[in-house]
Chain A
């Protein structure tokens, strides 16, 4: 740990710090006792920030601070679900494709390439607009996951292909290890570092897609997410009325979260590259 801290670049440390901060907001602070911020009209409307309401209230009488905390919680949760499904499926498909080869490989790759090529946003728009109104968080996450597995599987496949030719894999073959055994003990550890960075990337992409859909009014209407919070503030003309304590927290929150996660990803990639001695 101490060694890690010494070798880590400033970017990695900053990214780690910001990400941790958001994780604490979304998964620790979130569980602190508070009243449900979502219901309308149980608080005073349009309050300025105060000790009782740290960021004030919306024109619907919702507490902005707790709304923000809940939005961070939900956005991160969606991101993690999508990234987990995408990474696991992607790694599996990529490994199978790379190691089995032959027609299995060709079929899987054509399907994968299709999903890389299909423009995700229009299709997501179509799918969510078809379930307008009655989609749930889980359903939304599943729909987003449809586009999260193709890229990792392509990457993992090419990693598997180059690794197949490495000496230590030949050694494993000749010492009598089966395909499955080789994949699990020799290849998987190599793909783990990559998978971790892909997981963070996919989280980022999923949160971005969800917020994009929210701005189009296609995210579930009762889901408190960063995108929906921005969309609600836009809908109720928070910008026109100069209610900066309402519109800015979700926008700034999203920007800081994204920059932080991105720094963590690139910093982590540099760190692992350095550890491999490059």
Chain B
């Protein structure tokens, strides 16, 4: 009974969070003085000369419909909620008209998700392993060195690390292409090998930063766990250090990390955007960059809405699973 009440409340908060987030996203651009339709018409005129007033008026109306700017604010809002949020239909993309935004996002999403999912999970495994060792045996020199390296890498912003990797491996050593070039149409073998080659540097930059974070957090978790009374008791019982490490310290400190993993999987959008842009990797990040460059507001709205839904859903799942993993936590 208590579980159902908790579940209901949690799902309600989830829905409310998404609703508020999307509302925020919806109203922000409408509060700014710049009008996307007018700036688009201005751009067109700059490119192809003056238009006659009637044609301009017709263009203006059709653009307003495309941008979802027709009607009162309230009708715009409800139609955005209905079409965008419930059906992921964000209207046609303006940079590759008339393909729907949803379709283009769906085409790019696997690249981003594939790259960041794999790197995040690999970083999680490596980082937690090193972190556990560093926290459990915190007085060894090797632990201190490993933690020192993690501390020096983790705080560096994504794109700076990406730039440094680019300079070292692409300019100086010349091992990888400067910008990712993936050949889509020359057979599966070529596609996979070019994709892998294009993914190495972006993956490495996400991996380095991610691992740094997991080492630091796991180290502090496991070093506090290692001082708990039950660990002391296990020592007095004469258990081997390996057994204590595996069944006492690891199992208790990995719990928090599982939730953290779920949350960071939701947050892949934030980190991968910069990495993708620096390396020209074809994912949602480069899609957002292109959309900004060409003022494709439908596309920007689409990408951000999807990332809000993804992140809050991951947090929801993490919160719901946690009590199953950790019996000490009760639904309340």
Chain A interface residues (CB < 8 Å from chain B): 11, 110-111, 113-114, 117-123, 125-127, 129-132, 204, 208, 211-212, 215-216, 218, 230, 234, 239-240, 247, 251, 254-255, 258-259, 261-263, 266
Contact = CB atoms under 8 A, between A and B. Distances in A.
Interface in B154-181: 154-160, 163-164, 167, 171
Interface stretch (B50-58, B92-100, B267-275): B267-275
A262 B159 CA distance: 17
Contacts of A208: 157
Contacts of A129: 292, 295, 300
Interface residues of B, number: 44
A251 B151 contact: no
A204 B311 contact: no
Given A122-B269, A130-B29, A259 B151 contact: yes
B24 A114 contact: yes
A110 B13 contact: yes
B154 A117 contact: no
B315 interface: yes
18 contacts: A11-B151, A110-B20, A113-B13, A113-B17, A114-B20, A117-B17, A117-B311, A118-B21, A122-B303, A123-B28, A126-B300, A126-B304, A129-B292, A130-B34, A258-B156, A258-B160, A259-B152, A262-B154
Contacts of B154: 262
A217 B152 CA distance: 27
A263 B216 CA distance: 12
A119 B270 contact: yes
A211 B162 CA distance: 13
Given A11-B151, A113-B17, A255 B156 contact: yes
B66 interface: no
Contacts of A130: 28-29, 32, 34
DSSP majority for the B interface? helix
A111 B28 contact: no
A119 B29 CA distance: 16
Nearest to B272: A121
Contact of B155 (A212, A230, A258): A258
B21 A114 contact: yes
B288 interface: yes
A135 B277 CA distance: 23
Interface of B: 13, 16-17, 20-21, 24-25, 28-29, 32, 34, 151-152, 154-160, 163-164, 167, 171, 216, 267, 269-270, 273-274, 277-278, 288-289, 292, 295, 300, 303-304, 307-308, 311-312, 315
Nearest to B34: A130
Contacts of B315: 117
A111 B23 CA distance: 12
Q: Which one of B157, B159, B277, B315 has the greatest number of beta carbons of chain A within 10 Å?
A: B157
A131 B295 CA distance: 12
Contact of A131 (B34, B160, B303, B311): B34
A146 to B, nearest CB: 9
A266 B151 contact: yes
Contacts of B270: 119-122
Nearest to B148: A11
B167 to A, nearest CB: 6
A119 B20 contact: no
A261 B16 contact: no
A185 B13 CA distance: 33
Given A117-B311, A119-B311, A130-B32, A216 B292 contact: yes
B304 A122 contact: yes
